[in-house]
A and B are shown apart, each in its own frame.
Chain A
């Protein structure tokens, strides 16, 4: 995401070229004062109502006791926040269990989603007949929605009827693993399915980055007698640094927002152990009608993610120095 911004900022703030002044004069004469605002208006209405207003409303909700069913919605200050951090509150246990579930999923899925797609991208970053074909196949699961892959894997991982246990049994491995009903198997399932589902997406991003590394660098390294590993270590990895930062940051955010996989595949099992933060927030706010508390959770959660993202940037900055 950093690169997105840098490109945008660099272009937006760059001093206009010398000829720019004359150009501006020419087009300004023909542009009515209101024209830019008319072009912006339709989007800004949407953005204002569904992009900005919810941010403010979220803060406002979080300091009220807000029940959709009740007419009385008193101001409660920071109570909704305090409850999340005091171990004697009713919500404390479930909330931190969902944070733990999300953390476990993120910690195990992110490294795999950074490394596996890089391997795929390196494999695809050669010229051979069928390259585009294989790239399409590896990417294909990603175009399916979480509802489809959730139902599909719930079936594949079914302990009795599922293909996974049957295939394992066929090669002499235990064929009765409770993939979706018990830990640690449920975690293996959720992480594994997500890697299967989204690796192609990250691989395509890596591929674009790999193609931006000048071939001359590889040639020069070869001339200097660098081995394949040395070329990877000293040409590929440094060349990919901005792409790596982008992939890690977006993957952490995507993993932390996991919902559909655990909702459909493990259905929270065992008990509510695999219920994630996003799931718990919507359940609290929309099923149990406590929008104030759910809004407070959303804000605490967004702040946690911000801290993780900033830590990411820091870590990579240091490595660069």
Chain B
């Protein structure tokens, strides 16, 4: 999946020393591999099943390798007017990308103002934003439904792109990062006659690429995987994103598992690829979101 290179973080002081004897090392790897099997086998089984025929997936006991290897599941979801899975894929891609962009733009601007500017109401604004971190988003679903209904956004992609960008996480996360940047570069830019917009665009944002990438990836993932909100605000088959679409697929194909698993694979591949390439960002984002910043 990834090359087992060690990052600077791994080499840091906290990591305890490697176990001394060969026996202990063997025990460590045996444990690690056993756990890896627990986490991976279900995912491997998903891929295997997606390559079986209907009859192949009904066999008892099940076979580990698909025989024959079949494109049946994928054919079903490609040529499917009742369940346009490829359309859902594109919808998800578009929604998650636009959502991540919207979060980046709005959160970075707001976070910069909160981190670096002094103005009336800053304390109250920040307190309000942070305060909403404590309100479970699920408890706002009913009133939010009423709001998007009034805006006439139901059953459009806008409804899965925009409202989630109100989350306080991005602003909070970037504010913490901006506060950690050295002020000297910004001060030098001020002396050069740059205004706040120029400093923001040419000094602060370029310095913040790692944090922006982390936020973009996390926002994309959250939006791509969102299930609860879209199943209640998207209805038309051609409007769905993948998660509510997969629910529909399960209802339509019940025990036709190759088809259902093919859909699940399609929904997993982009995020797994993203994970492989942006692993550092995702894992740092997760570990930093709560603790450091």
Contacts and interface: CB of A to CB of B under 8 A. Distances in A.
Interface of A: 1, 3-5, 7-8, 11-12, 23-24, 26-28, 30-33, 35-37, 39-40, 42-44, 46-47, 49-55, 57-58, 61, 68, 120, 123, 125-141, 143-148, 151-156, 158, 160-161, 163, 166, 169-170, 196, 200-201, 204-205, 207-215, 218, 242-243, 246, 250, 253, 256-257, 259-260, 264, 278, 281-282, 285-286, 291, 294-295, 298-299, 301-302, 305-306, 309
Given A35-B117, A204-B286, A42 B106 contact: yes
Contacts of A155: 49, 257, 260-261
Contacts of A309: 134
A300 to B, nearest CB: 9
Binding site of A, secondary structure by majority: helix, strand, loop or mixed?
helix
Contact of A201 (B45, B143, B244, B286): B286
Nearest to A303: B139
For the side of the interface on B, what is the size category? 35 or more
Contact of B283 (A7, A139, A166, A306): A139
B19 interface: yes
Interface string B278-293: 0100110011111111
Contact of B286 (A1, A131, A205, A286): A205
Contacts, number: 364
30 contacts: A1-B290, A8-B293, A23-B183, A27-B116, A27-B187, A30-B194, A30-B196, A31-B195, A37-B119, A39-B109, A55-B135, A55-B140, A57-B146, A128-B25, A140-B43, A141-B43, A144-B272, A147-B267, A166-B61, A205-B287, A209-B291, A211-B14, A246-B290, A250-B290, A259-B138, A259-B227, A260-B227, A281-B139, A281-B142, A298-B138
Contacts of A68: 149
Given A27-B190, A43-B110, A166-B61, A205 B250 contact: no
Interface in B8-59: 9-19, 25, 28-29, 31-32, 35-36, 38-43, 45-46, 49, 57-58
Contacts of B116: 27
A196 B140 contact: no
Contacts of B39: 137-138, 140-141, 196, 200
Contacts of A27: 116, 186-187, 190, 196
B144 interface: yes
Contact of B32 (A123, A136, A212, A281): A123
Given A49-B166, A152-B46, A243 B291 contact: yes
B127 to A, nearest CB: 9
A161 B62 contact: yes
Interface in B177-230: 179, 183, 186-187, 190-191, 194-197, 200, 221, 224-228
Contacts of B13: 211, 214-215
Contact of B17 (A126, A144, A291): A126
Given A30-B195, A52-B128, A147 B16 contact: no
